[in-house]
Amino acid sequence: MAHVAPEIFNGLILGAFFAVVAIGLSLIMNLTGTINLAHGSFMTLAGYLAFAMVSAGTNWWFALAAAPILTVIVGVAVERTLIRPLYRRDPVYSLLLTFGLSLIAEEVYRLIWGTNGVPFSPPPSLQGSVSLGFTDFPAFRLFIAGALLVIIVALVVFLQRTRLGLRLRAAVQDSEMIAALGTNTQLLYMLNFGLGILIAGVAGVLAAGLLGLNPQSGNALLMPAFVTVIVGGMGSLLGAVAGGLLIGVAISVTTLFLPAFSEIVMYILMAVILLIRPRGLFGEEGIFG
Amino acid sequence: MSDGKVDRKSFLTTAAITSAGLVTGFPAILPSRAFAADTLKVGLNYEYTGVYASYAQSETRGALMAMDAWNARGGVMGGTKVETVQEDNNNNPGTAVEKARKLILVDKCPVQMGSISSAVSLSTSGACNALNVFYIASGGHADAVTGEKCEYSTFRTCHSTWMETHATGYSLVEKFGKKWYMIIPDYAFGHALQTGYHDVAKYTGINFVGEDLTPLGTTDFSPYLTKVLAAKPDLLIVLVQGDDFVNCLKQVHQYGLAGKLPVGGPQVELEAVWALPEEARVGFWGVEWYYKGASVIGNNNKLANDFIAAYRKKYGTPPTARSAFGYITMDRMLWAINQAKSTNAEKMAKALENAHFNSLFEGGGYYRGVDHQLMWPMWVASIRAKGTPHDQYDIFDVVDRREADFIEQKAAEKEKVCHFNWPT
Element at B46 (helix H, strand E)? strand B40-46
Given a cut of 80, is residue A251 above it in pLDDT?
yes
Query: If pLDDT is split at 50, 70 and 90, which confidence band does B5 have?
Result: low
A226 interface with B at CB cutoff 8 Å: yes
Q: CA B73, B75, B81, B82: dihedral to nearest 10 degrees?
A: -100
- What interface predicted TM-score (ipTM) does this complex get? 0.75
- What total number of domains does chain A contain? 1
Q: What's the pLDDT at B10?
A: 58
Please state, as a whole number, how many other Cβ atoms lie within 10 Å of the Cβ of residue A284: 14
B9 interface with A at CB cutoff 8 Å: no
Q: What's the pLDDT at B408?
A: 96
> Which chain B residue lies closest to A106 (C-alpha atoms)?
B28
Given a cut of 80, is residue B30 above it in pLDDT?
no
B271 interface with A at CB cutoff 8 Å: yes
CB B380 within 8 A of CB B337: no
CA-to-CA dists, residue B386 to A56, B354, B392, angstroms: 18, 40, 7
Is A278 part of a structural domain of the chain?
no
Name which of A14, A29, A260 is nearest B220 (Cβ-Cβ): A14
CB B194 within 8 A of CB B182: yes
Is A244 part of a structural domain of the chain?
no
Q: What's the pLDDT at A1?
A: 59
Q: Where are the beta strands (DSSP E) in B120-227?
A: 134-137, 154-156, 179-185, 207-214
Asked if the domains B40-159+299-373 and B162-287+379-407 are classified in one and the same CATH topology, the answer is yes
Cβ contacts of residue B130 below 8 Å, gap of 6+?
none
Given a cut of 90, is residue A228 above it in pLDDT?
yes
A17 interface with B at CB cutoff 8 Å: no
A177 interface with B at CB cutoff 8 Å: no
CA-to-CA dists, residue A40 to A45, A47, A219, B24, B397, angstroms: 9, 11, 5, 17, 38
Separation between Cα atoms, residue B126 and residue A73, nearest integer Å: 49
Residues of B in Cβ contact (< 8 Å) with A140: 254
Q: How many percent of chain B have pLDDT more than 70?
A: 91
Separation between Cα atoms, residue B158 and residue B44, nearest integer Å: 16
The whole-number average pLDDT for the span B256-279 is 91
Is A88 part of a structural domain of the chain?
yes
Give contacts of B 200-229 with A, CB under 8 A: 212-215, 217-220, 222-224, 226-227, 229
CB A35 within 8 A of CB B18: yes
- Per-residue pLDDT tens for A181-205? 888 888 999 999 999 999 999 999 9
Q: What's the pLDDT at B27?
A: 43
Range of the structural domain that residue A35 is part of? 4-218
Cβ contacts of residue B178 below 8 Å, gap of 6+?
B204, B205, B206, B207, B234
Q: Do A116 and B275 touch (CB under 8 A)?
A: yes
Name which of A33, A103, A256 is nearest B6 (Cβ-Cβ): A33
Q: Where are the domains of chain B?
A: 40-159+299-373, 162-287+379-407
The whole-number average pLDDT for the span A39-47 is 96
Cβ contacts of residue B9 below 8 Å, gap of 6+?
none
Q: What's the pLDDT at B14?
A: 58
- Name the least confident of A54-58, A86-90, A101-105, B198-202: A86-90
Is A243 part of a structural domain of the chain?
no
A29 interface with B at CB cutoff 8 Å: yes
Cβ contacts of residue A28 below 8 Å, gap of 6+?
A34, A36, A39, A192, A193, A196
Is A168 part of a structural domain of the chain?
yes
The whole-number average pLDDT for the span A244-259 is 89
CB A86 within 8 A of CB A73: no
CA-to-CA dists, residue B129 to A218, B159, B160, B353, B417, angstroms: 38, 21, 20, 17, 18
Please state, as a whole number, how many other Cβ atoms lie within 10 Å of the Cβ of residue A62: 12
> Which chain B residue lies closest to A116 (C-alpha atoms)?
B54
Given a cut of 70, is residue A2 above it in pLDDT?
no
Q: Where are the beta strands (DSSP E) in B132-194?
A: 134-137, 154-156, 179-185
CB B332 within 8 A of CB B348: no
Q: What is the mean pLDDT of chain A?
A: 89
Is A245 part of a structural domain of the chain?
no
Residues of A in Cβ contact (< 8 Å) with B226: 3, 6-7, 10, 135, 256
Element at B94 (helix H, strand E)? helix B93-105
Distance of CA A270 to the CA centre of its chain: 18
CA-atom Rg of chain A in angstroms:
19
Q: What's the pLDDT at B1?
A: 38
HSE at residue A250, side-chain half, CA atoms within 13 A, is 20
B338 interface with A at CB cutoff 8 Å: no
- Per-residue pLDDT tens for B221-255? 888 988 898 899 999 999 998 888 988 999 998 88
Separation between Cα atoms, residue A2 and residue B138, nearest integer Å: 44
**Burial environment of residue B147 by CB neighbours within 10 A (0 to 12, 13 to 18, 19 or more):** buried
Domain B40-159+299-373 sits in CATH at 3.40.50.2300
- Per-residue pLDDT tens for B87-134? 999 999 999 999 999 999 999 999 999 999 999 999 999 999 999 999
CA-atom Rg of chain B in angstroms:
22
Q: What is the pTM of this model?
A: 0.81
SS3 (DSSP) at B281: coil
Query: If pLDDT is split at 50, 70 and 90, which confidence band does A42 have?
Result: very high
Choosing among 3.40.50.2300, 3.40.50.300, 3.40.50.720, 3.40.50.150, the CATH entry for B162-287+379-407 is 3.40.50.2300
Interface size between A and B, measured as CB pairs under 8 A? 174
